[in-house]
Structures are given as structure tokens and as C-alpha cells.
């Protein structure tokens, strides 16, 4: 009887929850259909508020469950990079906007995206308008961004993180040995750092060297920018980081990292004073979600001419994986075909923010892009990371842009076979195989793979690696031997990638768009995004089956344990040979 009531309650609750979701969806759809575009006006003496503590992506997809998030008072709507950049640019020429207030000290977005925002803010300053920043707590990236400000304010009892960069890599070798569940790694012979976490319990000297060079390159960019903005030498900044003497607000002010210690109300009062307002006047802080709806004062006439931005964000997969953000060859092929056949699209920028993934999918996308570039100018902009398969799909572009701190390269291939033979034997589990031919049976979780099968797979991996190097050599107009020398899985920072020929120029997404426009002599054009939005119903079903499951698991086992599970599960579910960054690099 007790079991009956449990089942009955679960059924009733499920029906009730389904009706609630259905009602919210109907209300949301009705609202979007009935409501026109909101007209927004900006008051005189307004200040644009830049709060980057929100989730920032290259492209934001409409979230069918955003209505539920909005019920949470702490929820902040995500932003896309282009909207942020365009808003800052629009504010520069807006007579009603007198300055920008950066109000986020906790930023989780990638360094390359922040570089584009920082450079756009430096352009804004040239207009003569002010930039100020305030936070209770400044993370290292947030502080680096905030150094563009004329004045940096900080809570007197807050904290500043300024310590340098560190990277943590998780190793699974001991775990595999302990439980008898492991991966058989099949890799190209010179691919030294590939899947190292599954082969060793510590970093190799070569891997440590390349990781150290990458971190120092990114940290060097931070120091250079802060040194120029704060007029403090790089040597002095490194001394401050080594000693950690700037953690407390009073010490941060004393060494010159912070201009003024103040509470938020004092920060607001100082802005009013700069605007010539009285202390009791209302300060008009305009958030970007509102400001993006404002039409620019110098808006150009409508034109049919377009430049397409093709977004490649997430892991490259052949079939849908666990991640809600992934790059699928069928979706990309459809988008590329639409771009190619649209006569009004005069040029294309592909924005890549991907660690790579499936080798097969990467090549399918590469082929479609090769067909595209025969008909239209094709330029690539790298975001935070464009490694392995992410670099593969981009290597044939007419021109490649990256930021100094973009993580790129990692030219290499590997395959992994799950093997629980030892664990099964320890638990008394065995299996038998019947086959028609000598190699009909490849491998299984319980039996593993035979040496002959491993050799066969190795041959395939080496063949894909050769194709990868050939593609890069052809696209970058380099010799095979030169690409091979800088390949083998090594990752590079963007500024170093220029020196070795993997990248053409430092710059961001807007630089790439401007280059395309200049190349085809377009003064007036529209920017359109691809791939187009997914079907809402399909997105809802996917979110229910994927996001909900991930959230529940994360809640059950904790954030750190979920990261380990996610990495292990991701490798387990990968199909075929992989062109992906050889390890999950967490930079702090």
C-alpha cells in the first residue's frame, strides 16, 4: 500500500508540473506574439552600467525556461559579446550617455572575450567621456578589465585578487589502477601530452614546459595592460603578485592598484558630482539589456547587403552529447549552405570558440567551408579557445584573427577505448565471443581490444593526423614539416601563434567583420547570425532531458565531483578519433 501511494503521488505531481510548464509556455508565446518592440528612451546625464558578472557567450540562444529563472530575484540575463561591444560603441556617440560605470568585480567569462571588451572601452575613452568602476571584491580578470577606468573604487572591507595565474590538471591514472576501469589510449607517436591524465599521475616535463609558457604568455598580457593603465612597472606588479600584499583594500590603495576606498553610496555620489548633479538627484544608470534596444543616433539606412557571422561555439560532436552547447556537422552544413545561397550575404566571418572534438565532424565542417570560400570572402575570429578541431575547421580561412590570450593550436589526434577488463575479472564477470572472421570482434568494455585492433586503430589515428597537418599546411601556406614541428598537440597563446604562422593578426570579432567589409568595399551592411535558432519545442525537450539531469546530478554529488565525472563521462561518450585539447585546463 505504501508503494502504491508513492507511485500515485509521483504521477499526480508529474501531471501537475507538466500543466504548470505548459501554462508558462503558452503565456510566454502569447506575450512574444502580442508584444511589439519596446521603445526605449534615454534621459540626459545617463550613465551606461556595465555589469559583466552575467553569463557571456559569443552567441546567446533564446532559453525556453528563462521565464522560470526570472522568478529568482538574483537572476541576471545572459549577454552576447557583440551586443556588449555594439552598446559601448553606440554609447560613445550618444549625447545622453556621459560615461560608463563598471560594476562587476566577479567575472567568469574568458580572457579573449574580455580583451575585446577592454579594447572597446579604451576606444570609448577617446571620446572624452569618463569610465569609473566599483566592486566589493575584484577577481584578477575583473581588476584587469577595470584598469581602463579613470578611477577605480573599492569597498573598504572588500578584497582584491592579484596573485598571478595557475593551472590545475586532474589525473586519473591512480583511479584507473585502483578500480580496474581505464582507457586504452591510441595516439600518434609524437603526440606527447595527449590524454596524459589517463596515462600518468603527474605532468611530464614537456607538458609542464608548454603549460608554463602558455600561462606566462597570458599573464604577460595582463601585466602589460595593467602597467600602461596604472603607470606601474611590470617588475613592480610581479612583486605585488608574489607577495600578495594587495589583498586587503587599504594595501591595494597604498601600492597604487586602487584609487579610492568607498562604499557604493559614496561611489554613486561621486558619479553625480562628475555629472554636475546634486547629491539627492536620481542617477540614471542604464543597463545593457535596456540600452541595446536604443537606436543609434547615426543609424544608417536599411540595406540588403549583409555580412554573416557563423558561430562555432562548444565541443565538436558527431551526435548530440551532454553539453547544451555543441557544434554539429549537420547544423553547420545547413547554415553554411544557407549563407552560400543567399546572394545578399557578401562575406562571412566564422567565430570559433571551441576546444575541438570529433575528427570526422571537423573534416565534414572543413569541407563545407572550403566550398563556401570559393564563392565568398571567408575570415575567422578566434574567441577564448580555438584548439584541435576548433583550429582544423578554421585553417583554410583567408585570414585568421586572435587575441593575445586566445588558446589555440593543439594540432593532434587521439583515440580512447574504455576498458573495464580488470574490474570485471575482480567481480567475477566474464564473456565469450562468437565471430565469423578473424577481426569481426573489435573490442568490448569487458574484453578490451586485441593488439591487432589497437594497431589498426593507431594506423587510422596517424592517417587522420597526417590529414590534419596537410589541411593546415595547405590553408596556411606552410610546409608539412613545419606544421608537424609546431603540432603534436601543443597549445599556444594567440600572440605566439602569430610568430609560428597559425594566426595572421591580433584582433577581435569586430575587427574581422570590418576587414571583410573593407575587402568587398561595403560601407553600409547588416550583420546576421548563423546557425539560425533551433525549433523551440525541440529545445524545450532537450533542456528537460539534459539540463535537468545535469543540475540534479551536480546537486547530488557536488560541484568538484561533478567536474571529474563530466570529464570522465565526456571521454567515454566520444565517437571515433578525436581532435580535442588533450586535457581540461583550468586556469585560475
DSSP 306-335: EEEEEEEESEE-SS--S-SSEE-HHHHHHH
The domain limits of the chain are 46-163+244-291, 306-415+449-579
* Radius of gyration of the chain measured on its C-alpha atoms: 26
State how far the alpha carbon of 150 is from the alpha carbons of 129, 140, 161, 360, 481, in Å: 10, 18, 20, 50, 49
Cα distance from N-terminal residue to C-terminal residue, the chain:
54
For 251-302, give the DSSP string: HHHHTTS-SEE--HHHHHHHHHHHTT--TTSPPEEEEHHHHTTSPPTTPPPP
3-state secondary structure of 121: helix
Q: What is the pLDDT along the chain (588 residues), one digit of tens a residue?
A: 545 444 544 454 455 555 555 555 544 444 444 444 567 789 999 999 999 988 888 987 655 444 444 444 455 688 999 999 999 999 999 999 999 999 988 887 889 999 999 999 999 999 999 999 999 999 999 999 999 999 999 999 999 999 999 988 888 888 888 888 888 888 765 555 667 888 888 888 888 888 899 999 999 999 999 999 999 999 999 999 999 999 999 999 999 999 999 999 999 999 999 999 998 899 999 999 999 988 876 666 778 999 999 999 999 998 765 455 789 999 999 999 999 999 999 999 999 999 999 999 999 999 999 999 999 999 999 999 999 999 999 999 999 999 999 999 989 888 888 888 888 888 888 888 888 888 888 878 888 888 888 888 888 888 999 999 999 999 999 999 999 999 888 889 999 999 999 999 999 999 999 999 999 999 999 999 999 876 544 555 454 445 555 555 555 556 555 555 555 555 555 555 666 665 555 565
> Is 56 within 8 Å of 84 (Cβ atoms)?
yes
pLDDT at 69: 45
Please classify residue 122 by burial: count the beta carbons closer than 10 Å to its beta carbon, then call 0-12 exposed, 13-18 middle and 19+ buried.
middle
111 catalytic residue (yes or no)? no
46-163+244-291 — its CATH code? 3.90.226.10
Which parts of 82-150 are beta strand (E)? 97-102, 130-138
> Is 292 within 8 Å of 86 (Cβ atoms)?
yes
d(C-alpha 383, C-alpha 160), whole Å: 27
pTM of the model: 0.82
pLDDT at 424: 82
Core vs surface per residue 305-317: b (16+ CB within 10 A) or e: ebbbbbbbbbbbb
pLDDT at 257: 97
pLDDT at 379: 98
Mean pLDDT, the chain, as a whole number?
84
d(C-alpha 468, C-alpha 461), whole Å: 10
**DSSP tag of 197:** G
Which parts of 334-438 are beta strand (E)? 345-354, 356-358, 378-387, 399-402, 407-409, 414-419
d(C-alpha 353, C-alpha 109), whole Å: 12
H or E segment and range at residue 448: strand 448-449
pLDDT at 47: 96
Name the active-site residue from 111, 381, 388, 410: 388
CATH 3.40.190.10 fits 306-415+449-579, yes or no: no
pLDDT at 375: 96
388 catalytic residue (yes or no)? yes
pLDDT at 535: 54
- pLDDT tens across 230-245, in order? 999 999 999 999 999 9
Name the active-site residue from 59, 192, 346, 495: 192
Identical topology for domains 46-163+244-291 and 306-415+449-579: yes
d(C-alpha 127, C-alpha 92), whole Å: 6
What is the tally of helices (H) and strands (E) in the chain? Answer: 21, 26
DSSP H helices in 374-508: 389-392, 421-426, 451-476, 480-486, 494-499
**DSSP tag of 218:** H
3-state secondary structure of 164: coil
d(C-alpha 65, C-alpha 84), whole Å: 23
Amino acid at each position: 500500500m505504501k508503494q502504491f501511494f508513492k507511485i500515485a503521488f509521483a504521477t499526480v505531481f508529474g501531471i501537475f508540473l507538466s500543466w504548470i510548464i505548459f501554462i508558462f509556455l503558452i503565456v510566454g508565446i502569447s506575450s512574444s506574439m502580442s508584444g511589439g518592440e519596446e521603445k526605449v528612451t534615454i534621459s540626459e546625464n545617463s550613465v551606461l552600467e556595465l555589469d559583466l558578472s552575467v553569463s557571456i557567450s559569443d552567441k546567446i540562444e533564446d532559453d525556453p525556461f528563462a521565464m522560470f529563472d526570472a522568478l529568482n530575484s538574483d537572476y541576471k540575463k545572459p549577454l552576447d559579446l557583440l551586443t556588449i561591444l555594439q552598446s559601448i560603441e553606440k554609447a560613445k556617440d550618444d549625447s545622453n550617455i556621459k560615461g560608463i560605470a563598471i560594476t562587476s568585480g566577479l567575472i567568469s567569462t574568458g580572457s579573449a572575450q574580455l580583451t575585446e571588451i577592454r579594447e572597446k572601452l579604451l576606444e570609448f575613452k577617446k571620446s572624452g567621456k569618463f569610465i569609473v568602476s566599483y566592486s566589493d571584491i575584484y577577481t584578477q580578470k575583473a581588476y584587469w578589465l577595470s584598469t581602463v577606468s579613470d578611477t577605480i573604487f573599492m569597498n573598504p572591507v572588500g578584497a582584491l585578487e592579484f596573485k598571478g595565474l595557475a593551472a590545475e590538471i586532474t589525473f586519473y591514472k591512480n583511479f584507473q589502477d585502483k578500480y580496474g576501469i581505464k582507457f586504452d589510449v591510441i595516439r600518434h607517436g609524437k603526440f606527447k601530452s595527449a590524454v596524459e591524465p589517463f596515462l600518468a599521475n603527474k605532468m611530464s616535463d614537456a607538458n609542464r614546459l608548454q603549460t608554463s609558457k602558455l600561462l606566462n604568455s597570458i599573464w604577460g598580457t595582463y601585466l602589460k595592460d595593467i602597467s600602461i593603465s596604472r603607470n606601474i612597472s611590470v617588475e613592480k606588479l610581479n612583486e605585488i603578485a608574489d607577495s600578495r600584499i594587495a589583498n586587503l583594500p587599504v594595501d591595494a590603495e597604498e601600492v597604487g592598484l586602487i584609487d579610492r576606498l568607498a562604499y557604493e553610496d559614496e561611489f554613486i555620489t561621486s558619479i553625480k558630482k562628475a555629472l554636475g548633479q546634486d547629491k539627492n538627484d536620481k542617477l540614471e544608470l542604464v543597463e545593457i539589456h535596456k540600452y541595446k534596444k536604443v537606436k543609434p543616433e547615426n543609424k544608417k539606412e536599411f540595406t540588403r547587403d549583409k555580412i554573416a557571422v557563423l558561430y562555432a561555439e562548444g565541443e565538436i560532436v558527431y551526435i548530440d552529447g551532454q553539453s547544451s552547447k555543441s557544434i554539429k556537422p549537420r547544423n553547420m552544413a545547413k547554415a553554411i549552405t544557407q549563407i552560400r545561397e543567399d546572394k545578399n550575404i557578401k562575406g562571412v566571418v566564422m567565430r570559433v570558440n571551441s576546444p575541438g572534438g570529433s575528427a570526422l565532424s571537423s573534416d565534414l565542417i572543413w569541407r563545407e567551408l572550403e566550398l563556401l570560400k570559393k564563392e565568398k570572402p571567408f575570415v575567422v575570429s578566434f574567441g577564448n579557445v580555438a584548439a584541435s578541431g576548433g583550429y582544423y575547421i578554421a585553417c583554410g580561412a583567408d585570414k585568421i584573427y586572435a587575441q593575445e590570450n586566445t588558446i589555440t593550436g593543439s594540432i593532434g589526434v587521439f583515440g580512447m577505448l574504455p576498458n573495464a577488463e580488470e574490474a570485471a575479472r575482480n567481480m567475477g564477470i566474464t564473456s565469450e565471443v562468437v565471430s565469423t572472421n578473424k577481426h569481426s570482434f573489435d573490442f568490448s568494455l569487458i574484453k578490451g581490444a586485441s593488439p591487432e585492433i589497437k594497431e589498426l586503430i593507431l594506423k587510422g589515428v596517424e592517417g587522420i593526423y597526417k590529414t590534419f597537418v596537410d589541411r593546415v599546411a595547405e590553408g596556411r601556406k606552410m610546409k608539412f614539416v613545419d606544421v608537424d614541428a609546431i603540432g603534436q598537440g601543443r597549445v599556444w597563446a594567440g600572440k605566439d601563434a602569430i610568430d609560428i604562422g597559425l594566426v595572421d593578426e591580433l584582433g577581435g570579432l569586430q575587427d574581422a567583420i570590418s576587414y571583410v567589409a573593407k575587402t568587398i568595399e561595403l560601407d553600409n551592411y547588416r550583420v546576421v547570425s548563423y546557425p539560425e535558432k533551433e525549433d523551440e519545442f525541440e529545445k524545450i525537450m532537450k533542456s528537460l532531458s539534459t539540463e535537468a539531469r545535469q543540475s540534479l546530478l551536480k546537486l547530488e554529488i557536488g560541484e568538484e565531483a561533478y567536474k571529474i565525472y563530466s570529464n570522465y563521462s565526456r571521454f567515454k561518450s566520444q565517437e571515433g578519433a578525436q581532435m580535442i585539447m588533450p586535457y581540461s585546463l583550468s586556469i585560475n
